[in-house]
Amino acid sequence: MSQSLSFRSAVERAAPWFVPVGLLLIWELGARTGFIEARTLPAPSQVAVAFWESAKSGELGRNVLISFERAIIGLAIGGGLGFVLGILTGVSRRAELLLDSGLQMLRNVPHLAIIPMVILWFGIDETAKIFLVAVGTLFPVYLNTYHGIRTIDRGLIEMAEVNGLGKFAIFWRVLLPGAMPSVLVGLRYALGIMWLTLIVAETISASSGIGYMTMNAREFLQTDVVVLGILVYAILGKAADTATKLIENRVLAWHPAYHAGSVSR
Amino acid sequence: MRGIRRITPAPSLVETGLWHSIMLKRLSSADRIPVAKTSIGRGLPSTDGNVRAKGKELALDHLHLSFGERAVLRDLNLTVPAGQFVAIVGRSGVGKSSLMRLIVGLDKPTSGTVSIDGNPVRGLQKSVKLLFQDARLLPWQTVLSNVGIARTPGWREAAMTALRDVGLAERHGEWPAVLSGGQRQRVALARVLVGEPNVLLLDEPFGALDALTRADMHVLLEKLWLRERFTTILITHDVAEAVALADRVVVMRDGRVAFDVDVSADRPRQRTDRDLAALQERILREV
C-alpha cells in the first residue's frame, strides 16, 4: 500500500517533465534519422556539445554575465522609477493629476519603436541597452504599484486613523505592505519585458552579450549556438521568475495564498 | 417620569403594565447609583468612586448630517453620562453607523456639536475608539502587532495584556488569516482596549457572528465594561442584545432619537427575565 503510494507520488513529481523530455527525444531522433536537417535545427546533443565548448572557453559565461548586468541595471533604474512614481500617484491626488495621464500615454508607445531614436541619442554602447530595458520595465512596475495602493481597503486606512496612526505610519504599515502583492506582480511582468527588450537590443547593436552571441553565430550558420542562446534566455527567464516567487513567499508570508504548505509546486 | 424620556407621542406606558415594573427597578436604584447591581462578585462601585472608571461624558447637541440632498441625522440630541452603557437600536439606514463615524471624528457633522466631558471636539479623538462591524485587522501583521498597532511605548506588554483579556494570548504570533471570525473580532476588541478609550463605540461588532460566539462576546464585553467602565455605545439591531447588555436603550428613527428607556435589571442578566422580555417587546414596537 505505502509502496504504491510512494510510487504514485514519484510519478506525480516526474509528471511535469514527461512532455519536455518526450519532445527532446523526438527531436533527437528526428535529427539522427535525417528527418530534421541539422542546418535547420540542430539535434539536442549538438546543442549540448556547443554548450560544453562555449562554457569551457569562458565565452558563454562572459556573455551571460554582461547580459545579466545590463538587465539588472536597467531593471533597477526602470523598476525603481516606476515604483516611486506609482507610490506618488497612488498616494497623492495632485501627483496623479499631474503625472498619470502623461505616463499612460507614454505607456502605450511600444518601447521598442524608439530604438532608432535611442541609437541616435546614445549610439550603440551600454547606455542605449540599459535605457531601453529601463523604459520597458518602468511601466509594468508603475502601473501595478499605483493600482496596488489605490485598491487598498479604505476601511483599513480608517481603522489606522481611528487608532491614532499618523500619515507616515499609515504609509509604512498600511499602504506599502498592502500594495506589495500588486507590486510583485508588476515586477514579474517587468522581468519578462526586461529579457525581451535585452534580446532585441543586443541583436541590433552589441559586441557582447547573449544576443550578440546568437547573432554572430547566425552569420556563420552555427545553428547549435543559436539554439543554445535561446535556451540560455529561457533558463534566465525561469530563474528570474523563481527569484520573484521566493521574494513573494517571504514578503507575502501573511497572505493565505502563500502560507507554507499551501504553496503549490 | 425619569425612567423613560418620550420624544414622539405614543400610547401611555402606564397602560401597558410594563411601566410599573420598570418604575419599581428605578426606585430601588435612584439617581443612577447602582446599589442593586452588585450581583457580580467584586461588586460594582459607582463610576466616580472607581479608580478604573475611564468613562467620560459624551454629549451630542443638535447634530445634523446630510450627504447632499439626503439628510441622515436631523437634530439628534443625546447625553450619555460617564461610564454608562447605551445601546442604540434602529432599522438599517437610520444613520446609526453615520453617527458612530461622526462621534469618532471620521466624518464631520453638517451642524451641531459633539462634546466630551463638556468640551466640544472636532476631528479624531484619542479618547474615543471605535470597534467596526468587521475586524479590520492588517493581514500582513501578526495578531500581536495588530493589537499594538498604535506602537505606543511599551506596546508589546500592553498588547499581550489585552490579548489575555480577550483570551487569545497564545495566538499572538499568528497571522489574522488563520483566525475565525469571532477570534478576529476579539483581536479587534483587544486593539481597542490597548488604546484605553474613555468612550468606546461598538458598531454592530457581533452582527456577523454565530449565536454561540455572539453570546461569548456579550459575556466578554460586559466583563470588560464592568472593569474599565468606559462610556459605551453599542449599535445593534438585535433588541435582545441591547436589553441584555445596556443600561439604557435608545431607539433611532428618521435620523433622531425616537425613544429612550433605562434598563435597570441586575447583572448578569437572564435572557429569560420576564421584565426584560416585556421591555424588549416594548422597544420592538418603537423600532
**Residue B273 confidence (pLDDT):** 79
Q: Predicted confidence band at A179 (pLDDT cuts at 50, 70, 90)?
A: very high
Provide the sign of the torsion angle of the four alpha carbons B89, B91, B94, B100, taken in this order.
Answer: positive
Q: Are B97 and B225 part of one and the same domain?
A: yes
Same domain, B159 and B36: no
Residue B60, beta-bridge partner list: B78, B114
Q: What domains can be seen in chain A, in order of their start residue?
A: 43-258 (1.10.3720.10)
- What are B82-92's pLDDT values in tens digits? 999 999 999 88
Count of pairs with CB atoms under 8 A, one residue in A, one in B: 56
B228 has a pLDDT exceeding 60: yes
Residue B49 above 70 pLDDT?
no
What are B226's strand-pairing partners?
A: none
Specify the residue for cell string 524608439: A114
**What is the reported pLDDT for B198?**
94
* Angle value at C-alpha B222, between B120 and B161, nearest 5 degrees: 85
pLDDT of B31 reads: 35
B62 confidence band (pLDDT: 50, 70, 90): very high
B28 and B149 both lie in a single domain: no
Q: In B, which residues are within 8 Å of A158 by CB distance? A: 106, 132, 136
pLDDT for residue B192: 93
Give the CATH number for residue B206: 3.40.50.300
- The answer, yes or no, to whether residue B19 has pLDDT greater than 70, is no
Same-domain status, B162 and B219: no
Q: Which residue, B149, B174, B196, sits at the end of a domain?
A: B196
pLDDT digits (tens, 9 = 90+) for A7-60: 888 888 888 889 989 998 998 998 888 888 877 888 888 899 999 998 999 889
Q: Assess whether B265 and B212 both reside in one domain.
A: yes
Best CA proximity match to A55, nearest among A211, A240, A47, A221: A47
Whether residue B35 is found in the same domain as residue B109:
yes
* Residue B7: predicted pLDDT: 56
Q: pLDDT for A210-219, tens place per residue?
A: 888 988 888 8
Average pLDDT over residues B262-287: 84
Domain's final residue, options B172, B196, B220: B196
Quick one: which H or E segment has residue B130?
A: strand B128-131
pLDDT of A260 above 60: no
State whether B178 and B211 are in the same domain: no
Record: contact A161-B124, CB cut-off 8 A? yes
- Amino acid A124: pLDDT: 77
> Does residue B272 sit in the same domain as residue B203?
yes
pLDDT at A222 over 90: no
Q: Are A155 and B132 in contact (CB under 8 A)?
A: yes
Peptide linkage before B268 cis (omega within 30 of 0): yes
Q: Which residues, 6+ apart, have CB-to-CB distance to B87 below 8 Å?
A: B233, B234, B235, B236, B241, B242, B243, B245, B246, B248, B249, B250
Which residues have CB under 8 Å from B38's CB, separation 6+?
Answer: B44
Q: What is the pLDDT of residues B242-258, one digit of tens each?
A: 998 999 999 999 888 99
Based on the fold, state whether residues B123 and B156 are members of the same structural domain.
no
The confidence band for B52, taking pLDDT boundaries of 50, 70 and 90, is low
Quick one: pLDDT at residue A253?
87
Which among B124, B151, B175 has the least Cβ separation from residue A162? B124
Question: CB–CB of B261/B4 below 8 Å?
Answer: yes
- As a whole number, mean pLDDT of residues B15-31 equals 40
Residue B5 pLDDT grade (very low, low, confident, very high; cuts 50, 70, 90): low
Sequence letter at residue B150:
A
The answer to whether residues B75 and B144 belong to one domain is: no
The answer to whether the Cβ–Cβ distance between A162 and B140 falls below 8 Å is no
CB < 8 Å from B in window 122-161 of A: 153, 155-156, 158-161
Contact A254 B177 (CB under 8 A): yes
- Please check whether residues B192 and B223 belong to one and the same domain: no
Domain range for B170:
134-196
